[in-house]
Amino acid sequence: MASTIAHFINGEVTSGSGSRSQDVFNPATGQVTGELRLANQDDIKSVVAAARAAADSWAQVSLSKRTAVLFRFRELLSAHVDELAELVTAEHGKVLSDAAGEIGRGLEVVEFACGLVEHLKGEYSDQVSTGIDVYSFRQPLGVVAGITPFNFPVMVPLWMAPVAIATGNAFILKPSERDPSASMLMARLWKEAGLPDGVFNVLQGDKEAVDGLLTHPEVDGVSFVGSTPIAKHVHETATAHGKRVQALGGAKNHAVVLPDGDMDLAADHLNAAAFGSAGQRCMAISVAVAVGDAADTLVGKVTERANNVTVAEGTNPDSDMGPVITPAAREKVTRIVGEAEADGAALVVDGRDLVVEGNEEGFFVGPTVIDQVKTQMSAYTEEIFGPVLVVVRAADLDEAIGLINANPYGNGTAVFTSSGAYARKFQRSVQVGMVGVNIPLPVPVAWHSFGGWNDSLFGDLHIYGPDGIRFYTRNKVITQRWPEPAHTSNATFNFPSN
């Protein structure tokens, strides 16, 4: 029996007034498991009204009381890791340990937000002019919306909400339609943690909900994570409606393997970074740039490992990799692999025909490795977002860096080398926001910020960490004078100076 998945508005679970709904699937079985309510205009109005009212009072709550809520939320989240992971695996398909891993990374952001008293400390300049001091502090934006993708249904909302709430905002989460249930459990945990009603809300929906939030006059800021075309749409629409926006987009992450690198280390990490979560990570390595003599050895070692990946339902403890999210996602993978083969690339591991016994209706596709890929092929130009590693060969490090910098995306990249000099040249030259040195998925820890460059991020500030604090707050600067009882006014028609 498919259960109804509703909204969470002003501290209550509600079906809303919309008449539309959408099926939610278990991608490992192909079965419908939920019926998701989709917001209409009235639902958008009611969630924004609730958030608006809550934002005004939440911003007045003392920092120590806010901190206490954040600490309680951290404890509750930690106590519910298994339950959350099961929800993620049931709707996303990733293996349970990977689901627990994403919750762990989200918890780090909650822990960062627990330090809000430190993050919100202002600055003070004494006696900038005779008897005059200047100080600054940051105030919340008000109502902020977070629109999130399917691939991290817990971690990405946690990149946003804890920081937004810690800094005194009310938050409206619009999760992905594909895996919305984890957000409802998080809503319950926020409430149990003592967060006042209306400060954390979940609005379920599709484009209508998103566009309604982007254009609503009472929404002050929008954080978005998803694909590049939608990130552009979100950035353009929300900025045109006067909002502060950060919109993180898609990726095509390259890992450069130099001949002096440790080939086993590189192959192990490329295998995990390309096929973990069935390649559905914004920081997945989807292109290996094999430099010079590294190519044949690397392709051989990666092939061996790809052939040993266990593909099975995410609840199976032996599974390395689950299904992709939809039949459409699987078709995209098979189309692009077919095009690469037709264009003359070498298909060294082909996962297109994989059938998982007992899960014949699931949306599975196996690990695939394509060698000799050229930059004009669709396997190189498109974000595949599936378990496909393409190998491009480059003569030297300069050519590899040139390839990366010519790519429109700039989310993450990595270099495998034993030379500090090459690594340093690489990290200083690539036009990419996050760089790993012998680290394939350089997702920054929570007290640094996460963000790509170029078509991987629209807006100025990265997400969570120090940039997250800046994004969800505005700076206010006070210039003050407290004259002595017997003072002489020095008012002047000239611009004041000391």
- List of residues contacting ligand NAD (CB under 6 A): 147-152, 156, 174, 176-177, 206-207, 210-211, 225-227, 230, 233, 248-251, 282, 383, 385, 411, 452, 456
Estimate to the nearest angstrom the gap between the alpha carbon of 179 and the chain centroid.
Answer: 15
CA dihedral 230, 236, 242, 248 (to 10 degrees): 50
The answer for residues whose C-beta is within 8 angstroms of residue 243's C-beta and 6 or more apart is 214, 219, 220, 221, 222
Closer by beta carbon to ligand NAD, 249 or else 367: 249
Query: At its nearest, how many Å lie between ligand NAD and the CB of residue 430?
Result: 16
Identify residue 339 by its one-letter amino acid code: E
Q: Cβ closer to ligand NAD: 140 or 221?
A: 221
65 CB-contact burial (10 Å; exposed 0-12 / middle 13-18 / buried 19+)? exposed
Q: Cβ(42)–Cβ(17) under 8 Å?
A: yes
214, 282, 391, 401: the active-site residue: 282
Question: Which residue number, 251 or 337, has a Cβ lying nearer to ligand NAD?
Answer: 251
Between the CA atoms of 411, 273, 366 and 361, what dihedral angle is there, to the nearest 10 degrees? -70
When CB distances to ligand NAD are compared, the closest residue is 226
Shortest distance (Å) from residue 61 CB to ligand NAD:
29
Residue 248 CB, shortest distance to ligand NAD, in Å, is 4
Taking the complex as a whole, the smallest distance from the CB of residue 221 to ligand NAD amounts, in Å, to 16
Which residues does 397 contact at the CB level (< 8 Å), separation at least 6? 256, 258, 291, 422, 425, 426
Could you tell me the smallest distance in angstroms from the CB atom of residue 72 to ligand NAD?
28
Q: What distance in Å separates the CA atoms of residue 202 and residue 181, rounded to the nearest whole number?
A: 10
* Known catalytic membership, residue 282: yes
CB closer to ligand NAD out of 65 and 207: 207
409 vs 426, beta carbon nearer ligand NAD = 409
Burial label, 227 (beta-carbon count in 10 A; 0-12, 13-18, 19+): middle
Strands (E), 76-163: 123-129, 132-140, 143-147
Q: How far apart are CA 163 and CA 120, in angstroms?
A: 11
Nearer to ligand NAD by Cβ, of 390 and 397: the residue is 390
Question: What does the alpha-carbon distance between residue 175 and residue 98 come to, in Å, rounded to a whole number?
Answer: 19
- Name the minimum Å distance from CB 68 to ligand NAD: 30
Residues with catalytic roles: 282
